[in-house]
């Protein structure tokens, strides 16, 4: 699938400067990064960023839109591994290990991405060690999220995973859900808006779409939530939190 590259190079430093990973980098260093071959990619919903097995010499930072990382089983089933939103990066693990991509990446909504070559990153690390620390912090956060995933799959029931997602935002998937209230206000009624399909969220939680829908209907029948298309209104957060203990 072809990508559309935006050639307005003068916009690149501005896009880089507002991203958390590059915030605080000097203008001369931003110019050097751009000069190494950075570009902007605009992908339409459903387009592939890369496929498992591809060798990439760049990683990507999501400016707008949503993206999923997924794997395909030998039987053809899809498992969503991560849901990524603005400000998150994709592809850097394979880049620094000089390995083919282990998974595939597909855009879930129209997206704008920054393509950043490996050479630009390695040179910035040599100029600014604090940039390397930011990369490590980001990688550590994602590893922690993956460990929480393993814990959830091994120790929590499907009902507990759905309730945890609705109340707190499941690791990584929380970047794709846009709750209307901050985490500190989750004891109050709030709304979780799903920017991706329920089937995608179900796959992210390692559930079948049918089971995910069944759990949502059960919670709605209990008066704990109200479903309005992709908006899920959490009517009784405290009771919902204790529902899995019954």
Q: In the sheet that 225-228 helps form, which strands lie side by side, from edge to edge?
A: 178-179, 190-193, 231-234, 225-228
pLDDT tens-digit readout, 53-64:
998 889 899 999
Residues of the chain with CATH 2.60.120.10: 4-147
Tell me which architecture the domain covering 4-147 has in CATH: Sandwich (2.60)
- Stretch among 63-67, 81-85, 90-94, 100-104 having the lowest mean pLDDT: 90-94
**pTM for the predicted model, two decimal places:** 0.76
- Of 14, 15, 19, 52, nearest in space to 135 by CA: 19
**Is it the case that residue 74 has pLDDT exceeding 90?**
no
Compute the half-sphere exposure of residue 58: CA atoms within 13 Å on the CB side of its CA: 18
Answer for the pair 193, 231: CB distance below 8 angstroms, yes or no.
Answer: yes
**Is it the case that residue 178 has pLDDT exceeding 60?**
no
pLDDT tens-digit readout, 103-152:
999 999 999 999 999 999 999 999 999 998 988 888 888 888 878 888 87
Buried-state track 161-198, b at ≥16 Cβ within 10 A, e below 16: bbbbbbbebbbbbbbbbebeeeeeebeeebbbebbbeb
Sign of CA dihedral 77, 79, 85, 90: negative
Residues of the chain with CATH 1.10.10.10: 157-243
CATH number of the structural domain 157-243: 1.10.10.10
């Amino acid at each position: 699938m072809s990508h559309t590259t935006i050639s307005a190079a003068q916009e690149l430093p501005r896009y880089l400067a507002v991203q958390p990973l590059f915030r605080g980098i000097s203008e001369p260093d931003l110019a050097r990064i751009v000069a190494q071959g950075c570009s902007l990619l605009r992908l339409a919903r459903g387009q592939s960023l890369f496929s498992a097995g591809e060798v990439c010499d760049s990683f990507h930072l999501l400016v707008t839109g949503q993206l999923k990382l997924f794997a395909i089983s030998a039987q053809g089933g899809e498992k969503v591994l991560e849901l990524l939103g603005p400000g998150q990066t994709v592809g850097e693990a394979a880049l620094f290990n000089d390995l083919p991509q282990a998974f595939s990446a597909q855009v879930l909504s129209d997206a704008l991405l920054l393509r950043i070559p490996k050479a630009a990153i390695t040179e910035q690390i040599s100029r600014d060690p604090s940039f390397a620390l930011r990369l490590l912090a980001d990688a550590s956060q994602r590893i922690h999220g993956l460990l929480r995933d393993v814990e959830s799959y091994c120790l929590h029931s499907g009902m507990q995973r759905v309730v945890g997602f609705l109340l707190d935002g499941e690791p990584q998937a929380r970047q794709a859900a846009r709750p209307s209230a901050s985490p500190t206000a989750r004891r109050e009624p709030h709304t979780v808006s799903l920017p991706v399909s329920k089937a995608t969220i179900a796959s992210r939680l390692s559930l079948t779409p049918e089971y995910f829908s069944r759990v949502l209907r059960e919670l709605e029948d209990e008066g704990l939530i109200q479903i309005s298309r992709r908006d899920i209104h959490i009517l009784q957060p405290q009771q919902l939190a204790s529902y899995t203990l019954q």
